[in-house]
Amino acid sequence: MAVITVREALNQAINEEMARDENVFIIGEEVAEYNGAYKISEGLLDKYGKRRVVDTPISESSFTGLSIGAAMSGLRPIVEYMSFNFSLVAMDQIISNIAKMYYMTGGMYNIPIVLRGCNGAAAQVSSQHSHNMESFFAHMPGLNVISCSDAADSKGLLKAAIRSNDPVIFLENEMLYGTSGEVPDEEYVIPIGKGRLVRSGDDVTIIAHSRMMIYAKEAAAELEKMGIQVDLIDPRTLKPLDYPLISESVKKTNRVVIVEEGHYWCGIGSQIAEFIYRDLFDYLDSQIIRVAQSENPMPYAKGLEAASLPSTKKIIEAVQQVTYTGAPS
C-alpha cells in the first residue's frame, strides 16, 4: 500500500469519482485556478476543465443553492467550503432545502450532494474560525455526517459519500491534511455507517474521531505503560452511528471515555453516552466520562486555546477516573 497524506487521499477520491462518473463536479471558492485553498482539488481543473471544476464568488448561500438545483437535475455536486465555519452563511439552504427536499417532495427528488471542508480548530485562528460543526448537522434528519481521522478512511468514505444518493456532510480537519498513512492501491469504498476498531483492549473503551484520534492513540500508548489496555473506536460516520461496534466494545470493557473536539453541551458525545446508558447500563462498572472543548468561544492565545481543547493528558486523566487508578474524582 502507498503511504500518502490525507490531502492526497481526498484528492485521489475526487479525481477517481470524477473519472468514473461524468455527473460529478466540484464547486467552491478557489477550487479551480488556485487548486483549492488547501490544495485538495490540485490538478483537477487541468484534467476536467471549467465545466466540472467551478470557481465561485464568496457567496456560500448562492453556490450551495445552485448545487441543490444541480443535484435535483441529476448531477452530483461536491461543494467545498473553505472552512465549515462559512457554511453558517448557507445554513438555510442546507437545513431547509438539502436535508428536507426528499421528504417534502414525497421522494421525487433526492439530493446526491457532498458538502465538505475544514471543521474545528486549526492553529490560532480564533473564535470565528474554530467552530466544530458536527452536532449542528447531525441534529437534522436527512443529513449523513462523516468525520475521518486518517488517509485511508478519508479516501474510502469520501468515495462512498460521492456515490450516495443522500446528502452527506463530510467534515475534514486542517491539522490532519499533512498527516500520512497507508492507503490501498486497489479500488475500495468504505460503507457509510461502519466504524473501525483502531486497537483492542479489555479495560476501557475510548471513542474518538477526527483529530481527537491522534490524542486518543497517544493516551492509549501511555496507558498501556500503566497496565491499562484500551479498546479504541473511531466511529468515522457520526450519523448514522455504528451502534453494534460500540455495544460489542462496552460489553467487553464495561468502562467508557468519549472524546470530541466540539463543545461539551449537546455534543456528539452526548448522543453516544445516551445510547450506552439507555441500552447498555447493566454492563457499566463506572460512569461515562466525556472529554470535550470547554464552554467558551475559542481564544486566540496559544495557551488558552490549548486549555480549551481536549488533550492526551485530559484523556489519560479521564481513563484513570473510570478505571479507579489514581486520578482525582
pLDDT value at 76 more than 60: yes
Q: So which residues are the catalytic ones? A: 60, 129
- Cell readout for 11 is 484528492
- CATH 3.40.50.970 positions along the chain are 2-183
Residue 20, SS3? helix
Q: How confident is the model at residue 327 (pLDDT cuts 50, 70, 90)?
A: low
Check whether 98 has a pLDDT greater than 80.
Answer: yes
pLDDT digits (tens, 9 = 90+) for 136-193: 999 999 999 999 999 999 999 999 999 999 999 999 999 999 999 999 999 999 999 9
pLDDT at residue 128 in the model: 81
Segment 13-43, tens digit of pLDDT: 999 999 999 999 999 999 999 999 999 999 9
CB 286 within 8 A of CB 224: no
Backbone phi, psi, residue 317, to 5°: -65, -40
CATH of domain 196-322: 3.40.50.920
Task: Catalogue the long-range contacts made by 71-75 (C-beta closer than 8 Å, 24 or more residues apart).
Answer: 71/110, 71/111, 71/112, 71/113, 72/101, 72/109, 72/111, 74/23, 75/23, 75/24, 75/25
**CA-based end-to-end distance of the chain:** 45
Class of the CATH domain delimited by 2-183? alpha beta
**Rounded distance between C-alpha atoms, residue 321 and residue 329, angstroms:** 6
Identify the band that residue 122 occupies on the pLDDT scale cut at 50, 70 and 90. confident
Which residues 6+ apart lie within 8 Å of 53 measured at CB? 25, 26, 31, 32, 41, 44, 45
With vertex at residue 122, the alpha carbon angle to CA 265 and CA 193, rounded to the nearest 5 degrees, is: 60
In the chain, what percentage of residues exceed pLDDT 90? 93
Q: Above 90 in pLDDT, residue 103?
A: yes
Taking 60 as the threshold, does the pLDDT of residue 74 lie above it? yes
Contact 81, 174 (CB under 8 A): no
| CB neighbourhood size of 282 (10 A) | 7
Tell me, yes or no, if the pTM score tops 0.85: yes
Question: Measured between alpha carbons, how far is 186 from 121 in angstroms, rounded to an integer?
Answer: 33
Q: Is the pLDDT of residue 329 over 50?
A: no
Q: CA separation (Å) from 289 to 69, 85, 191, 295, 318?
A: 44, 28, 29, 16, 6
> pLDDT digits over 273-299, tens only?
999 999 999 999 999 999 999 999 988
Q: Output the average pLDDT for the chain.
A: 96
- Do 132 and 120 touch, CB atoms closer than 8 A? yes
Left if phi > 0, otherwise alpha if psi is -120 to 50, otherwise beta: which for 26?
A: beta
Delimiting residues of CATH 3.40.50.920 domain(s) in the chain: 196-322
* pLDDT cut 70: percent of the chain above it: 99
